[in-house]
Structure 1
Amino acid sequence: MIYDLIKKAETNSNFSPTLLYNEGWMLRLVLQLLNNGEIECDKISFSNEFKWYSEVLLRSPFLPRFQGDTFAESHTHADGVVGKFDFRGNTKGGISLDKGCDFFYIIEAKMFSKLSKGTTHAFDYNQAARNIACLAHLIYENRETLEIRETDKFGFYVFLPQDQIKIEKTFREFTKPENLVIAIKDRISKYPNADKENRFDWLMENLYKFINMIDIKLISWEELLGEQNDSEIWKFYEKCLKYNKKK
C-alpha cells in the first residue's frame, strides 16, 4: 500500500507531492550515492569508510542552564551528518566523534527555502552560525579523545539548487567567516556578564581557530550529481525543483 501511494505522489489528492519530492529525500539519495562511490564532487572529500545519518539533533553550547532560561536554545536540528561518529546512549543530541575520526561534516539541505535568520531569543543568530557553534562545541567536547591532525577535515556544507545560490544573497552573507564570528559573539553577548563568565571562555578564546578549522561551502545539487548517468536521480531532482520552487 505504501508503495502504491508513493507511485501516485504527483496525482494523489490525499497528500502534497512535496512530502516525497523534497530536500530531505534528495539529501538521503545524494549521501548514499556518495557513500557508494557512484558520484564525486571536488568541493567535498570523503575517506574510504564513513557513516551518514539524516535528521540529527546536535548539542548546542547555549542549552538551558535551568528551567525557564530565557537566554537558552534547544538542540540544533541538522538535516544530515557525515563522517566517523557514533551515538551516545540516553541523549537527545548524542553524537560523539570516533577517536580515529579524520572528517566530520554537518549538511544543511535546501530546496528554495532560506537559511533561517535567528532563534527565539537571539534574532540575529542565523542557521549557519548555529551549526558552526554546535560543530565547535562537538569538537571541544571530544578534545580529550580526539587526535586532531592537520589533514583532518571538519565542515559545514549547504546543498541547494544552483539557481538559489545565484539569486539569494543571504547564503553567501551568512556563511562568510567574518560574519559567523560576529553572529556567534553577538549570541554570547546576550547573556548577562555574571552568567557568561567561564561558561563561554572556551568558545571566545578559540572562536577564530574553530572558524578557520571548519570548511564552509555552498554546494549545488547540480555539482553533486555532476555527470551521474542515472536518469531516475535527475528526474527525482527535477520534480523536487518543480514542486518546491516558489512561484
Structure 2
Amino acid sequence: MNIVAIILAIVVILLFYILYKFFLLKSVELTKTASLNATENPSIKIENSPTSLRYAYGIWIYVHSWDSSKAKTIYSRPNNIKLYFDKNSPILKCDITLDNDTPKTLEITDNFPIQKWTHIVISADGQYIDSYIDGKLVKSGRMYTAEPASTPKTPGDGDMNLGGGTTFDAYISKFQHWDKPVDPQTVWDTYNEGNGQGNMTNFVSSYGIDLSILKDNVEQSKYKIF
C-alpha cells in the first residue's frame, strides 16, 4: 500500500467521524432555563427515540442553598431515569428503572459542588451508564441485578419532568437530550460551549427578585432588586 492510499484512508475515516459528530450525533435542547424552586415546571415530551435504551442527557445546574428537609430531584422520567441528590448531603445519584420495576442506583459523587454552575451528563448504552461532571468521566456502572436477573426496562413514551415533583433552591439551564450515547469528546466539547449564563446574577435577573418589607405579615413596602 503506497503513501497516497494511506493518506486517502485517513481522510475518509476523518470525514466519516466529522459526519457522525455533526450530522448524526445531534442534541435537542429540552429546556433553556428553569428554576427547580418553582412549584410546577411543565413536563417535556421526548420526541426522538423515546423508547430507546441508548440515549444521553446533559444539564447545567446551580444549587444556590441546601435544605436538608427537602427532597431534591433534578429530573425524572417514569420507567426510565431519575437524577437526584441525597436529601441530607450533596451526594449525586442516578436511578435506572429495571424490568422488575425496581431502581438500580449509581452513586456518582459524594461531594457535589454548591453555588457554582456545574455540568452533568448521563450517557446510557443498554445496561451500561457513564456519568460526567464538568466534561470529565466520573463514574460508570452496569445497571443489572443477577438474582433475580433484571436489566433496564424499556422506557415508554412518558414525559420528562424537571424537579420530579420536588422543589429546592436550584436553577438549571441548557437541558439537552441525545438519542444515542455520547462519547467523552462530545461531552467535553459540550461542556466547553458553556451554558450561556455567565454568572448567577445574570441568570437570576431573567426571573427577577423583589424584596418585600413586612410588618405583622402585612406588606409595608416593596423594592425591585433585579
TM-score normalised to structure 2 length: 0.25
Q: More relative contact order in 1 or in 2 (CA 8 Å, sep 6+)? A: 2
Task: Looking at secondary structure, tell me which structure has more strand per residue.
Answer: 2
Which has the larger Rg? 2
Which structure has more helix as a fraction of its residues? 1
